[in-house]
Amino acid sequence: MRLDVRGRILLLTVSLAAFALLAAGLALWAVQHERVDDTLDASLERTAGEFAAFAASAVDPATGEPWATTEQLLYSSLGNELPAENEAIVAFVAGELRYRQANETLQLGDDAEFVAHVAPLTTGERAFISSTTTGRTNYRFAVVPVQVADSPAGALVLAFDRGAEQAAVLELVRGYALIAALALLLLTLLGWVLAGRLLRPVRELRELSTRITESDLSLRLPVRGTDDLAELARSFNGMVDRLDKAFAAQRQLLDDAGHELRTPVTVVRGHLELMDPANPADTTATRELALAELDRMHRLTEDLVLLARAEQPDFIRRRAVDVHDLTTEILEHARHLGPREWRLGAAAHGVVDADPQRLTQACLQLAANAVRFSEEGSTVEIGSVLTGDALRLWVRDEGVGVAPEDRERIFTRFTRAVPGAGGAGLGLPIVAAIARAHGGTVELDSRVGAGSTFTIVIPTEGEPWRTSS
């Protein structure tokens, strides 16, 4: 079965949690198991020490007489010891079980397997602690050898039912396992819900991507918070915005081309249909008209392609530009546009990050408009200035000016402020597109009958522009 992202996240989370809980449970069992053994050993050592101290006394405390035999010492010591729960004390003499306590809670003497295992160990001379397992249980025991005078040697054997003592640890581990299982179940339920909430933007992205079509790019993902998923939603919305603009530009290009190219095609077709092939003058005139219309169509298509490319990221190619050199070069190019009094208003000294070819193209378009809408011999001024946060390039003329109601309209495609003035109405939209590509705008200051000043404003705030020499 193939798991989705939600299932894989949940599986990974629960697996890691289960591993951590298992490791903690094993550590708990090991620590508690070791602690029980340490407690048993401490109790055995304490009881063995008490017996050693009792055996070292010279006389029997009950009679005041010296110990006569090993059996007497062992018998008396058993009466002085009260076994704890799961503990038993027995006495061996000459390798045989001789005494056992009447009130023992652990029937140690009845475990023949244990007695057979311990009996040979009671004939040694050194005390020790050890463990053994029989058919009944697991024991932790201590052997304390003793001998009085020339009587047979014996030993006191103290033992704990280690299995019974460790049972409490097993109960603790079982309780922990139950709690861990419930915790994993709760984690699974919460993880499923939280994973669904966290992955909701991804799910919405998947659903939205299937609903978006070329004809409907209006849908957007909701952006919630500031985390990585919110950033994913912003990036997706930005991508759709760019696609929407690209398709809109494409549709606009097709609409504009269809509208503007239809007229010259109709003109050429009409003249060709009416042309008299036998009349050389008519043929020549029609040929010149057709070529002129084809040139206009070529310029029109070039401008439309330029406007379509203006929305693409590689429309401008920024590099360090010397503003003074750029301004003077624009002026030199503009002098060839027409017989006007060309003047350099100002030339800023500084270096900015911009596309010099596009800025030159925009300024020359403004200069061409100034020539078209001004009288021969009038003044046209080109200049630049660097303010604290922007580069300003302007073209000022003494032409007819622009009426207030036309000042916004002339920046839309195929709009002409003066009907019949020529041109396709794409010059100022191209200038505005170049300014927008630089993150800037185009400002217009005009008075009807007195002239206009078009200013391209390119922001430089945050850019370390420097003064040029």
Tokens 């350099």 belong to residue? 344
Contact 391, 352 (CB under 8 A): yes
> Can you give the pTM of this predicted structure?
0.48
Contact 397, 276 (CB under 8 A): no
DSSP state at residue 199: T
Token readout for 442 is: 């185009």
| pLDDT at 262 > cutoff 60 | yes
Tokens at residue 301, please? 């298509």
**Spatial distance between the Cα atoms of 15 and 48, rounded to a whole number of angstroms:** 49
Confidence (pLDDT) at 182: 93
CB hemisphere CA count around 279 (13 angstroms): 10
Amino acid at 31: V
- Positive or negative, the CA dihedral 200, 206, 207, 213 is positive
User: Which helix or strand (DSSP H or E) is residue 141 part of?
Assistant: strand 138-146
Phi, psi of 371, rounded to the nearest 5 degrees: -65, -40
Q: Of 302, 458, 455, 260, which is closest to residue 370 (Cα–Cα)?
A: 455
Q: How confident is the model at residue 414 (pLDDT cuts 50, 70, 90)?
A: low
Q: C-alpha angle 273/278/282, rounded to 5°?
A: 60
Single out the residue of 460, 468, 458 nearest to residue 348, CA to CA: 468
| Average pLDDT score over residue span 68-94 | 85
Q: Which helix (H) or strand (E) holds 6?
A: helix 5-56
Give the Cα-Cα-Cα angle 396, 402, 404 (nearest 5 degrees): 125
User: What mean pLDDT is predicted for residues 22-45?
Assistant: 90
Q: What is the structure's pLDDT at 116?
A: 93
8 Å CB contact between 101 and 107: no
pLDDT band per the 50, 70, 90 thresholds, residue 214: low
Crossing angle of helices 162-198 and 200-211, rounded to 10°: 30
Handedness of CA 242, 243, 244, 249 (dihedral sign): positive
Between the alpha carbon of residue 154 and those of residues 97, 106, 129, 223, the distances in Å are: 9, 21, 16, 86
Burial of 454 (0-12, 13-18, 19+ CB in 10 A): buried
Residues 6+ apart with CB under 8 A from 201: 221, 224, 229, 230, 232, 233
- Closest C-alpha to 400, from 422, 428, 372: 372
pLDDT on residue 103: 59
Work out the angle at residue 138's Cα, subtended by the Cα atoms of residues 135 and 141, and round it to the nearest 5 degrees: 125
Q: Which domains does the chain have, with CATH numbers?
A: 5-168 (3.30.450), 228-309 (1.10.287), 319-459 (3.30.565.10)
Residue 465 has pLDDT above 60, yes or no: no
pLDDT at 112 over 70: yes
Torsion angles phi and psi, residue 249, rounded to 5: -65, -40
Q: Which helix (H) or strand (E) holds 100?
A: strand 96-100
421 has pLDDT over 60: no
- CB atoms inside a 10 Å sphere around CB 436: 15
Residue 321: partners with Cβ closer than 8 Å, 6 or more residues away: 351, 352, 353, 354, 355, 356, 359
Q: What whole-number distance in Å separates Cα of residue 469 and Cα of residue 356? A: 18
Alpha helical stretches, state H, 65-143? 70-80, 112-118
**What's phi and psi for 51, nearest 5 deg?**
-65, -40
Could you read off the pLDDT of 298-345 as tens digits, one per residue?
777 777 777 767 777 778 889 999 999 999 999 999 998 889 999 999
Place of tokens 């903690």: 24
The three-state secondary structure class of 193 is helix
Has residue 65 got a pLDDT over 80? no
Band the pLDDT of 197: cuts 50, 70, 90. Answer: confident
Q: How far apart are CA 349 and CA 329, in angstroms?
A: 14
* Residue 352: strand pairing partners: 321
Q: What is the pLDDT, as a whole number, of residue 346?
A: 92
Residue 133's pLDDT is: 92
Amino acid at 137: T
Give the three-state DSSP class for 43: helix
Sign of the Cα torsion 369, 372, 374, 377 reads positive
Residue 56: closest CA among 143, 147, 125: 147
